[in-house]
Amino acid sequence: MAHPLTLKKSNCKNCYKCIRHCPVKSIRFSGNQAHIISEECILCGQCFVVCPQNAKEITDGTEKAKVLLMSGDPVVASIAPSFIANYDGVGIVPMREALKKLGFYDAEETALGASMVKTEYERLLHEDKRDVLISSCCHSVNLLIQKYFPELLPCLADVLSPMQAHCTDIKKRMPNAKTVFIGPCVSKKDEAEMYEGIVDAVLTFEELTNWFKAEGITLEKKIVENENSRARFFPTTGGILKTMGLDEPNYNYIAIDGVENCINALNDIKSGNIHRCFIEMSACAGSCIGGPVMEKYHHSPVKDYMAVANFAGKKDFDIPQPDSGSLRKSFSYIKDDKKQPSDYEIKNILKQMGKTRPEQELNCGSCGYNTCREKAIAIYHGKAEISMCLPYLKDKAENFTDIISRNTPNGLVVVNGMLEVQQINRAALKMMNIRFADDILGDNVVRILDPLPFLQVQDTGIGIFNERTYLAEYDRYVEQTIVPDNESALLICFMHDVTDEQKEREKKEAISRQTVEVADKVVDKQMRIVQEIASLLGETAAETKIALSKLKESITDE
């Protein structure tokens, strides 16, 4: 059986909004995508309503209806009584005319079947003396009981829904007819497939509207009053009760809407403390006029209720009541065979989520589950992932960042727009001889660093990178990088301590200067020696020359 709700994977952004609003948590997450678990789903349509990315789609039944129209058999539309709220000012007459233009043989109000159903409810209370009787008009409520409260199946009225009662009556009057139900509900598509042979196709109001637009059909605003139409109240909260006699002695008549309220009521009944009452249950808040298609596109609860109330008459439809046997419907337990985890297995999963003590189980609901233990059970069943826990991710990210911040040898100082220190790591504290971070946190950065570079980055929005700075107060040299974080309006300063490197460089420069000075002195001294030697050699050579000259002259004279 195809599931009426499908997922556009590309649109699912892993926001977990659908699981937060799913009353029975029938959504599984895998690969950052949401997947509806059909065995657990009650088709309330809340995931479709709340999805911010429109990733959930209702399976379109238009083509199926068109195939029926081409079959040659007469196709009759059964229009849910909530249509008057969806199509403002359009009564059954113009709606019938428009549907005939599409090829339908005829169109009737589902409210006719609703009148048959309410009469059968009255008979069950009066003749069968039921203790607790729950209405069976809402397929989502029926699924809720079948899947999650099987012990209460005897309390569920074994009566056809108005859609089924009406379509059964149509086929009884026209044996070869095909029926198409039109309404605001997702679950009716499933009900039609689950009980074959009664309803041949189901359209939502949205699908019908699109079909009208495609064919260029405009609906005329015209309402013909009918005093005998009290069952038109059915799509409102308490609408079933408004049509019933409510005359059984010592009986309470209660109307409950919204899945969570229904679950709470079912738990009350399950406790065994509820007796002698008829309970009208609707999965949607506001009943059918709050249906998922209407809530998504056309939800005005007060206006919609007034539209239905003004359209409904004060007396029942003048139609024959079928025999009780033809309105019978059986419900069976839809079993869940999943194995439940042991307490040890739950604790082990909680430990993986970083929750080793009860006080760490925040039960914040950010993952979509009411408690951390529910989430752990979902992880065990493969429906959820550990990473879906927001506090877990936050702690993990903070721990990872903190580890980097604490262990990096570089100093880190973060200031806000007022240049107040918001964060400082151990390396920075050590560089500036600060004992504790609390001694500076919240103070202006001018206490520890020159604020001018910070102001420059703040004004220009352009970072300063690897600027060598001397911190005179701390006798340290640092390479300072200041970058803006525009999203958080913070300035982040990284400081790489290059004091040892700078001092080593200065030492080498001093040695080089000394070497040059010594070399210069040696050169000067050598030049002086050379000059002195040259001077002595010059004098000796002159004396030798004179002596030789004199010797030469004496020899010549002889």
- Please report which confidence band the pLDDT of residue 296 belongs to, taking 50, 70 and 90 as the band edges: low
- Fold annotation for 410-497: Beta-Lactamase (3.30.450)
CATH code that applies to domain 338-407: 1.10.15
Q: Beta-carbon neighbour count of residue 78 at 10 Å?
A: 26
Phi, psi for 107 (deg, rounded to 5): -140, 135
Extended strands (E) in 90-164: 106-109, 132-134
* Contact call for residues 92 and 109 (beta carbons, < 8 A): yes
Partner residues linked to 5 by β-bridges:
58
Q: How far apart are CA 423 and CA 438, in angstroms?
A: 10
User: Is the pLDDT at 399 greater than 70, yes or no?
Assistant: no
More confident residue, 437 or 106: 106
User: Is the pLDDT at 555 greater than 90, yes or no?
Assistant: no
pLDDT in tens, 163-196: 999 999 999 999 999 999 999 999 999 999 999 9
Please tell me the predicted confidence (pLDDT) of residue 339.
Answer: 86
- Fold annotation for 1-59: Alpha-Beta Plaits (3.30.70)
Phi, psi for 503 (deg, rounded to 5): -65, -40
* Nearest C-alpha neighbor of 42 from the set 54, 26, 31: 26
Q: Beta-carbon neighbour count of residue 99 at 10 Å?
A: 23
- Whole-structure pTM value: 0.72
User: Is the pLDDT at 308 greater than 90, yes or no?
Assistant: yes
Q: How far apart are CA 289 and CA 310, in angstroms?
A: 14
Q: How far is CA 400 from CA 388, 395, 535, in A?
A: 18, 8, 80
- Please report which confidence band the pLDDT of residue 440 belongs to, taking 50, 70 and 90 as the band edges: very high
**275-293 mean pLDDT:** 94
Task: State the pairing for strand pair 5-7/421-424.
Answer: unpaired
Max mean pLDDT among 6-15, 124-133, 541-550 falls in 124-133
The residue ranges of every structural domain in the chain are: 1-59, 60-327, 338-407, 410-497, 513-558
* Nearest C-alpha neighbor of 328 from the set 190, 89, 123: 123
Angle at 188 (CA atoms; ends 182, 192), nearest 5 degrees:
100
pLDDT in tens, 69-112: 999 999 999 999 999 999 999 999 999 999 999 999 999 999 99
Residue 418 token pair? 């007022």
Please tell me the predicted confidence (pLDDT) of residue 210.
Answer: 95
User: Is the pLDDT at 394 greater than 70, yes or no?
Assistant: no
Residue 285 token pair? 């808040």
Please tell me the predicted confidence (pLDDT) of residue 297.
Answer: 63
User: Is the pLDDT at 295 greater than 60, yes or no?
Assistant: no
pLDDT in tens, 2-14: 788 887 776 787 7
- Please report which confidence band the pLDDT of residue 389 belongs to, taking 50, 70 and 90 as the band edges: confident
* Contact call for residues 20 and 368 (beta carbons, < 8 A): yes
Q: How far apart are CA 328 and CA 421, in angstroms?
A: 75
Residue 119 token pair? 């009469």
Q: How far is CA 60 from CA 2, 66, 203, 442, in A?
A: 12, 12, 7, 59
